[in-house]
Amino acid sequence: MDRKHFWLVIAISSLCVIRVQAQSDAQFNQYFSVVGYYNPAYVGTAGGLNVSGMYNLQWLGMENAPKTMVLTADMPWKYGKSEHGLGIVAYNETLGLDKNLYTSAQYAFKKKIGKGMLSIGIQAGLVNMAFDGSGIYIPDDEDETHQPPESDEAMTAAQADAMGLDLSAGLFFSTGKFHIGLASTHLLEPKLELNENLDRKINRGYNLMAGYNIQLKNPLLELQPSVFAQSNLQMVSTDVTLRAVYNKKYNGGIGGRVSDNGKMSAAILYFGMTIKGFRIGYAYEFPVSALIRTSAGSHELMATYRLNIEKSKGNRNRHKSVRIL
C-alpha cells in the first residue's frame, strides 16, 4: 500500500467515526506502544518477547482525577508450519471512589497474505469493579455539615465489588511499512451488581488503528503518521499523530484529539528513545477544551523491554513485522 492509499484509509476511517463519540476503554496518548491492550490480534506481531508498561496521570489539578496503568506482554509462537501469538494484559484504573481491574489472556492466529501478515485474535479474562462507599459525604445546605451516606438508601458506606467475564476480538494486518487493526472489546457487555443498590455496565467498544512508516531521503530519518479511533456507538474519540524517528533511537512528535463535534479537545507532545532493547516514552496532553479551566493537562510514561527469542536455523520466524514505537 502506497502513501496515497494510506492517507485515503485515514480519511475514510475518520469520517466513519466522526458522528459518534468517546470510548469504553482507557485513552492512552501513546496508544501505538500498547497496541495489544486495544487489539488482541496484535500479539506476536512485533517479534520476540515484549513487555510494556504505561502509567497515565490524567487531568492534573482536579481532585480525584483518573490514574490508569496497563501492563502487556506478548510473544510469537510457531507450531509446525503455522504461526501464532500469545499475550497477557492487566489494567488498573482509579477514578474517585471507583477502582477497576482487568486481567486477560490473549491468542492470535496468523496467516501470511501477500507481503503482509493477517492476524485474528481473541481475548478472555475477568473484570473486577469496586466502589469505596466510605468516601461518600452528603453536604447539608442549611448548616454545611456532612450527613452520613446511610441517610440516603441509594448509597452505601461500605465497600462493594463484583467480578465478571470479559471477552474481546480483533483483526490486525501488517507489512514492513503499514499496519491496520480493527477490534471490538467487552463483547458480552458485562453488567456487574456491586450490591442491591449499585451496579456497573461496561459498554461494548470498537477501535480502529492504522499507521505507516515513511523512510525519508535522509536514511537516518523516518516519519510515522498514525490514527486511532475509539467508539462505543454513543461517543467517539479520534487521535491523529505524527512522529519522527532519528537513527532508530530517538523519536518525537505531535498529535491531536478530535471529539464528536469535530473540534480538537487536546494537543499532545511525544518524546522517546530506544537503548539496548529498552524503549521509554513520555507524552504530555494539553487540553484545548473547557477542561483547561480546571486542569493543567495530563502526563503519561511508558517503558518497553524487548527480548529476542533464539530459534534454530531451520525453525526461524522470518516474518518481519511493522515497527511500532
The per-residue DSSP string of 7-26 comes to HHHHHHHHHHHTTSEE-SS-
Residue 135: per-residue pLDDT:
62
Residue 54, beta-bridge partner list: 70, 302
Q: Which of 213, 171, 133, 153 is nearest to 39 (CA)?
A: 171
How long is the chain?
325
Q: For the chain, how far is it from start to end, CA to CA, in angstroms?
A: 20
Q: Specify burial of residue 248 (Cβ count, 10 A radius: 0-12, 13-18, 19+).
A: exposed
Q: How confident is the model over 185-213, as pLDDT tens digits? A: 999 999 888 777 777 888 999 999 999 99
Alpha-carbon distance of 177 to 36, in angstroms, equals 19
Residue 262: per-residue pLDDT:
80
Averaged over successive runs of 10 residues, the pLDDT of the chain (325 residues) comes to 45 38 74 97 94 91 82 95 96 88 97 95 95 65 53 60 94 94 96 80 94 95 96 91 96 93 90 93 89 79 89 49 57
DSSP class per residue in 256-323: EEE-TTS-EEEEEEEEEEEETTEEEEEEEEEE-SGGGGT---EEEEEEEEEEPPP--GGG-----PPP
Give the amino acid at 218.
N
Rg (CA), the chain: 21
Maximum separation of any 2 CA atoms in the chain, in Å: 80
Q: How confident is the model over 209-253, as pLDDT tens digits? A: 999 999 999 999 999 999 999 998 888 999 999 999 999 999 999
Residue 22: per-residue pLDDT:
35
What letters, b where the CB count within 10 A reaches 16 and e where it falls short, cover 204-215? Answer: bbbbbbbbbbee
Alpha-carbon distance of 78 to 277, in angstroms, equals 23
> Which triple of cell numbers denotes residue 117?
501478515
